[in-house]
């Protein structure tokens, strides 16, 4: 993989159309359940239009084990985050898919993080990494991003309280160096920012860069938006540079990073389409709808074209002021559950996916 944001629309579309068509054929041939769903919905693999690539609703991975390679080839099982008693998605990775996703993550973040490993603070607890074969979304995210850092320090105790003394020592040890921070949006707000604010703890992370994602729904419920998150973490914790990312365990490795202008970007190997929540028709740029994510990475499971539960808007393509090519977009939040159930049922039972 080369620089991840350098392909203009025509070249990128050709790359994606060819790759996604091949992946759809691969999953059709090697996954009976996927083949049956395509047949029932009347969808056919096509290579002339991105909007015509068949998609699956992400919640399907909570209901079914979807694997497109021999079971003995599976080296890792990822699970989505969910509250106790909730069904979780299970994503099965073989060696090839896991390696591709790790490589893609490195390439996508390189424009923000460079090639040098930085001293790294992980705003989470180490216990989330206990089982190395079966990972939660949190564990997978931490392991993936840990590759960008060195001398890792886990800032939270198992009870989710902050190790303020350990943090202060780490920052003192690396004074004058750029520090990389990583964590999940809601946890950073709840367990680090709020604790520092409530306890009146004075800490300054110095020349620091925070990469964070996930958990926006809970923050939006508390009326905390991206701008508030950035300004408050800068004010209370002294974090200088903050970049959000959008991604999901069902298409892990397909990370959409936020540029300096606050836009999420699609790299060369991935794309987004925004669809009307009722008709599923593709919407023009500037209109809000359900986000469909496309990726050339998932080979061990049919996750290359997924209709998410998230609402978003595509703002443009190839012309973001940051200079990165490709579509750039924002995520508005999650669609209400009642509406969502209707969407997924319609598609899953073959009545709504004709244009997909």
Supply 40's token pair. 């029932």
Task: Please give the Cα distance from 346 to 203 (Å, whole number).
Answer: 51
Exposed, middle or buried: residue 6 (CB in 10 Å: 0-12, 13-18, 19+)? middle
Supply 79's token pair. 């699970």
Task: Please give the Cα distance from 208 to 77 (Å, whole number).
Answer: 33
Contact residues for 133 (Cβ-Cβ < 8 A; gap 6+): 75, 76, 77
Domain count, the chain: 1
Please report whether residue 266 resides in a domain. yes
Task: Please give the Cα distance from 188 to 229 (Å, whole number).
Answer: 10
Residues comprising the chain, all counted: 356
Task: Give the residues across from 273 on adjacent strands.
Answer: 292
CATH of the domain at 61: 3.40.50.12780
Please report whether residue 349 resides in a domain. no
Question: Which pLDDT does position 120 carry in this prediction?
Answer: 97
Question: Which pLDDT does position 165 carry in this prediction?
Answer: 95
Please report whether residue 321 resides in a domain. yes
**Ordered DSSP codes for 256-301:** EEB-TTS-EE--TTEEEEEE-TTT-PBPPTT--EEEEEEES---SS
Phi, then psi, of 153 in degrees rounded to 5: -120, 125
Please report whether residue 216 resides in a domain. yes
> Helix 32-41 vs helix 9-30: angle between axes, to the nearest 10 degrees?
110
Please report whether residue 292 resides in a domain. yes
**Could you report the per-residue pLDDT of 166-203, keeping only the tens digit for each?**
999 999 999 999 999 999 998 999 999 999 999 999 88
pTM: predicted TM-score of the whole model, two decimal places? 0.88
Please report whether residue 352 resides in a domain. no
Please report whether residue 252 resides in a domain. yes
With a cut of 50, which residues of the chain have pLDDT below it? 1, 84, 338-356
Question: Which pLDDT does position 352 carry in this prediction?
Answer: 36
Please report whether residue 223 resides in a domain. yes
Share of the chain above pLDDT 70, in %: 90
Q: Which domain holds residue 276?
A: 9-334
């Amino acid at each position: 993989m080369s620089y991840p944001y350098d392909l203009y629309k025509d070249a990128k579309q050709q790359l994606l159309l060819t790759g996604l068509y091949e992946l759809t054929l691969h999953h059709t041939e090697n996954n009976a359940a996927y083949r049956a769903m395509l047949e029932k919905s009347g969808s056919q693999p096509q290579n002339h239009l991105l909007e015509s690539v068949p998609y699956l609703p992400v919640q399907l991975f909570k209901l079914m084990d979807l694997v497109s390679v021999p079971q003995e080839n599976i080296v890792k099982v990822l699970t989505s985050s969910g509250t106790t008693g909730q069904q979780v998605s299970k994503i099965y990775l073989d060696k090839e898919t896991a390696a591709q996703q790790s490589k893609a993550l490195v390439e996508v973040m390189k424009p923000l993080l460079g090639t040098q490993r930085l001293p790294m603070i992980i705003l989470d607890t180490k216990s989330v990494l206990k089982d190395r074969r079966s990972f939660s979304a949190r564990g997978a995210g931490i392991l993936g991003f840990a590759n960008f850092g060195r001398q890792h320090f886990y800032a939270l105790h198992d009870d989710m309280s902050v190790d303020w003394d350990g943090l202060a020592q780490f920052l003192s040890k690396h004074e004058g160096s750029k520090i990389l921070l990583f964590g999940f949006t809601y946890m950073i707000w709840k367990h680090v920012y709020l604790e520092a604010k409530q306890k009146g703890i004075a800490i300054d992370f110095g020349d620091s860069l925070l990469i964070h994602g996930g958990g926006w729904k809970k923050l939006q419920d508390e009326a905390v938006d991206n701008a508030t998150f950035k300004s408050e973490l800068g004010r209370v914790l002294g974090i200088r540079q903050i970049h959000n990312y959008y991604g999901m365990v069902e298409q892990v490795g397909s990370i959409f990073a936020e540029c300096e202008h606050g836009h999420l970007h699609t790299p060369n190997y991935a794309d987004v389409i925004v669809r009307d929540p009722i008709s599923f028709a593709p919407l023009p740029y500037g209109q809000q709808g359900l986000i469909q994510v496309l990726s050339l990475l998932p080979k061990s499971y049919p996750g290359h074209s997924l209709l998410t539960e998230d609402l978003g808007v595509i703002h443009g393509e190839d012309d973001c002021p940051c200079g990165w090519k490709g579509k750039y977009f924002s995520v508005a939040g999650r669609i209400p559950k009642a509406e969502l159930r209707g969407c997924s049922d319609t598609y899953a039972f073959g009545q709504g996916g004709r244009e997909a």
